[in-house]
Structure 1
Amino acid sequence: MMYLQYILVFIFGTIIGSFLNVVIYRIPRKESIVYPPSHCTKCGHKLKPVDLFPVLSYILLKGRCRHCGEKISIRYPAVEFLTGFIFFIIFYHFGLSIKALSYIFLSAVLVAITFIDIEHKIIPNKIILTGLIGGIIFRVLLYNYGILDYVIGFALGGGILLLISIISGGGMGGGDIKLMALIGLFVGWKLTLTTLFIAVLLGAIGGIILIILKVKTRKDYIPFGPYISMACLISILYGYDLLNLYIGYIRG
């Protein structure tokens, strides 16, 4: 029975991933995510239900539109599979609970932000606002976990990056500041600090690799949102283990 639940959670995640693909494509272009219905971005042909099965349709169509033959971006099945996998991992760690649902909601927001930031180098306010509304709702539902830690996390997450931005003369984007504040509202101040530390570490490693591979130069802008998102997911799953390991290390 438990295996069936895992499968259903994964499938649900891929379906949400399919919706996130619409968000990722349309929000930066200031298009409605409701109308028109899903269609080929090349020929405009309305997609049928058989074309919309997450991951599976891409495989069956061999990565091309059935009407015009245009190649379908690998991003579509990648987002669907990644979202399903993240939902599965969160469910595996936290079970069927409000806390798990809050992290699943947050992870969906992070997936959308990651791919938009990579392609367009922006973090849309609409997605941040949606995340904040969701964060407030979940904080009410999870009132037994307390409020103060999460308010501090909100202020700390956004405040630290805002301070860095001021000191560096704009070296940190406004979208990153808002994203970090949003994460603080979901995870509390301890995991906010863990997320910041891991994000900086991942960003440094990722930046060095991109420069070595000559994908980027020292002067190129490298989106920080994806590193924040990855760091947040690591913190959600293993943050307290890492904190305990660190505390045990400094205590000897």
Structure 2
Amino acid sequence: MVVLGYLSWVDIKKREVPDWAVLALFIYSLFACRNLKEGFIIGGFVFITHLLVAIAASGSIGGGDIKLISVLAFLMGRDFFLITLSLAGLMLATLIYALVTGKGLRYSIPLVPYLFLSFLISWGCFFEG
């Protein structure tokens, strides 16, 4: 959680995701992952999916974001998909806000704070106790 909080702050301030922090999270994940096979399968699926989206819609998602999302998917395994529920809700709320206020869809937003908030929401809702 601390690394995600730090990366959120960096992403807001500098609009980048430092590789060393993602690598540190990945190394931690190797020891904390409950099921390595499941982690590699889901992490690989998430990586390929986001990479294809980034190629198809250039500029839509950065390489650091793709690496971070993949590492989170590796760490959490199938529980990662619980994050996507809150992530989709947060992104939808942002989309509605942008359309209602007239800001439109031409602005880029940092993704890591959304991941961090989604992680906190998912952790609070689904992983209590």
Instruction: Check the 8 A contact 1:159/1:177 in 2, yes or no.
Output: no
Which protein is bigger by CA-based radius of gyration?
A: 1
Mapping of 1:64-103 within 5 angstroms? none
Structure 1 ranges of 4+ moved more than 6 A:
none
Identity between Structure 1 and Structure 2 (%) = 23
Which one of the candidate residues 123, 128, 140 is aligned to 2:22?
128
1:205 aligns with 2:90: no
> 1:195: Cα distance to partner?
1.9
In structure 1, list runs of 5 or more residues that go unmatched.
Answer: 1-106, 140-144, 242-252
- Normalised to the residue count of structure 1, the TM-score between the two structures is 0.45
Considering Cα pairs closer than 8 Å and 6+ residues apart, tell me whether 1 or 2 has the greater RCO: 2
> 1:210: Cα distance to partner?
5.0
Query: Which amino acid is the alignment partner of residue 200 of structure 1?
Result: A
Residues 200 and 174 of structure 1: CA distance in aligned 2, closer, same or farther (over 3 Å) = farther
Mapping of 1:1-252 within 5 angstroms? 107-139=1-33, 145-188=34-77, 190-210=78-98, 212-213=100-101, 217-239=104-126
- Normalised to the residue count of structure 2, the TM-score between the two structures is 0.81
Partners of 2:16 and 2:96 in 1: how far apart? 22
Residues 121 and 217 of structure 1: CA distance in aligned 2, closer, same or farther (over 3 Å) = farther
Instruction: Check the 8 A contact 1:194/1:235 in 2, yes or no.
Output: yes
RMSD: 2.4
Partners of 2:57 and 2:127 in 1: how far apart? 31
